[in-house]
Structure 1
Amino acid sequence: MFDLEVLLVAVGSVLGVGLLLGAGIPLIYALGVRSRESGRPGSNAVSAALMLVCVLLALGGIVVIVFGDAIFGG
């Protein structure tokens, strides 16, 4: 039997992850660059934190690509 609720949850999950990882990482990077250039007090720390998040997400993606079978049991 076709379950519409399960389908909507799955589509919503895929859409959310796609937005987060597809458009979210460049957005975080852009906010980090903008923060560094603003010259406000504390902006260098905010910029460094945002850049660190970008680096960690990129490294996480590389780990999933290289070791995905071992991690997810493929």
Structure 2
Amino acid sequence: MGEIVTETLSALWKVIAVGILLGAGLPALFALGLRSLNAGRTVNADGTVTGETSSSGRALAYVIFGVVIAVALFGIVVIVFGKQLFPH
């Protein structure tokens, strides 16, 4: 009985950790990419935007967006081909 509970809690912890990482971490990473895309720009009180996006901010944003896309595509591949990739 104790072994079943231990295995269940171990599996539950893994699901919660991945859920937090991908459920909150990936959108936070995307938001960081958007923030770095606007580095060097300012918004005035009337809503107009002044300044240019810095090239380093743009490069960082593209790297972050690439990571987000790669993780999302990896998740799709795991869902579709999971049994072939990770046999039990």
Question: Structure 1-normalised TM-score?
Answer: 0.78
Aligned residues: CA RMSD: 2.2
5+ unaligned residues in a row in structure 1: which ranges?
A: none
* CA-CA distance at 1:57 after TM superposition: 0.5
Which structure has greater helix proportion?
1
Corresponding residue pairs, total: 74
State percent identity of aligned pairs: 42
* CA-CA distance at 1:2 after TM superposition: 1.4
**Bigger Rg, which one:** 2
Q: CA separation in 2, counterparts of 1:30 and 1:47?
A: 10
Partner of 1:29: 30
**Structure-to-structure mapping, 1:46-65, within 5 angstroms:** 46-65=60-79
Which structure has greater strand proportion?
2
Q: CA separation in 1, counterparts of 2:56 and 2:18?
A: 30
**Partner SS for 2:2:** coil
